């Protein structure tokens, strides 16, 4: 039964319009990075170019995380709204449906984040004349996207309402960037900074004072704790509430 639930979920990825739409939005949003590149960038010294491009990895991962959370939320809530969830629960137990949806949300989130990386590199290649592909950064971004996809999935399960979840999922991650303006030491304990720092990204590139940063293992532990918390809340909601 569990195997059937997993097969059904992964098979649905082949025609996942939500994934295509959100990944396309991620790609287009990342293209906007080209606007921030000065017209005389190619003539700048190598060190200046390197310092200018340093934050872009973190920025792309941040974009990817927010959009991956939207995907994780959207994919569940639209299925719930269209009756797909209720129909599948007539064929499989709730716990099997939950377990099969979680890895698909993570995989879709990783793909959305990778679409952001592709869009960002296209933008930088066009505007700077070429940029190296950092495979470690690409892998880290995919991890961020996967975790953010799980976060959005958990939010969708808790909120349930389609349009409301589309608002809550990205805001629950992006709120940390606003908090960081006024209270950087507290912001690093929020989900998004913890996920980014745990994946190895430098938060000082997105405006969080380096003095407030936590050690990598601690950030990873915080990110895991937040993810487990939202998934536990989502599972509790899904296993006990009406989904029709």
Q: Is the pTM of this model over 0.85?
A: yes
Nearest 5 degrees, angle CA 57-CA 72-CA 111?
45
Radius of gyration of the chain (CA): 19
Q: What is the pLDDT of residue 32?
A: 80
pLDDT tier for residue 189 given thresholds of 50, 70 and 90: confident
Residues contacting residue 224 through CB under 8 Å, at least 6 positions apart: 198
Parse the chain into domains and list their residue ranges: 2-240
* pLDDT tops 90 at residue 231: yes
Q: What is the pLDDT of residue 144?
A: 95
Q: What is the pLDDT of residue 67?
A: 94
Tokens linked to 4:
């059937």
d(CA 194, CA 216): 9
pLDDT tens digits along 57-82: 888 899 999 999 999 998 889 888 87
Q: Which residue has the higher pLDDT, 52 or 146?
A: 146
Q: Kindly state the helix (H) or strand (E) to which residue 101 belongs, with its residue range.
A: helix 94-128
Closest by Cα among 12, 115, 136 to 65: 115
Most confident range (mean pLDDT) of 16-30, 194-208, 212-226 is 16-30
pLDDT tier for residue 93 given thresholds of 50, 70 and 90: confident
Tokens linked to 76:
């569940």
pLDDT tens digits along 94-129: 888 888 889 999 999 999 999 999 988 887 777 766
pLDDT tens digits along 136-165: 888 999 999 999 999 999 999 998 887 888
Average pLDDT over residues 40-66: 74
What single string gives the DSSP state of each residue in 14-53?
A: GG-HHHHHHHHHHHHHHHGGGGGS-TTGGGS-HHHHHHHH
Q: How many percent of the chain have pLDDT more than 90?
A: 29
Most confident range (mean pLDDT) of 69-83, 160-174, 222-236 is 222-236
Average pLDDT over residues 81-99: 79
* pLDDT tops 70 at residue 52: no
Q: What is the pLDDT of residue 234?
A: 92
Task: State the average pLDDT for the chain.
Answer: 82
Q: What is the pLDDT of residue 122?
A: 84
Q: What is the pLDDT of residue 58?
A: 86
Residue keyed to tokens 């934050």 = 55
């Amino acid at each position: 039964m569990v195997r059937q639930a997993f097969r059904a979920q992964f098979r649905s990825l082949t025609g996942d319009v939500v994934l295509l739409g959100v990944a396309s939005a991620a790609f287009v949003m990342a293209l906007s990075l080209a606007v921030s590149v000065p017209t005389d960038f190619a003539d700048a010294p190598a060190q200046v170019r390197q310092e200018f491009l340093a934050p872009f990895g973190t920025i792309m991962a941040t974009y990817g995380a927010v959009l991956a959370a939207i995907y994780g939320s959207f994919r569940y809530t639209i299925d719930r709204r269209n009756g797909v969830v209720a129909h599948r629960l007539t064929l499989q137990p709730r716990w099997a449906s939950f377990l099969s949806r979680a890895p698909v949300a993570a995989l879709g989130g990783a793909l959305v984040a990778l679409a952001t990386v592709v869009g960002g590199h296209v933008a930088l290649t066009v505007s700077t004349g070429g940029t190296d592909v950092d495979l470690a950064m690409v892998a880290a971004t995919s991890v961020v996207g996967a975790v953010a996809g799980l976060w959005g999935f958990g939010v969708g399960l808790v909120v349930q309402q389609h349009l409301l979840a589309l608002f809550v999922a990205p805001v629950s991650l992006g709120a940390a960037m606003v908090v960081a303006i006024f209270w950087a030491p507290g912001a690093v304990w929020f989900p998004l900074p913890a996920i980014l720092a745990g994946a190895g990204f430098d938060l000082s590139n997105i405006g969080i004072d380096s003095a407030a940063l936590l050690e990598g293992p601690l950030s990873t532990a915080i990110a895991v704790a937040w993810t487990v918390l939202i998934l536990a809340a989502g599972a509790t909601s899904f296993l006990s509430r009406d989904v029709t």
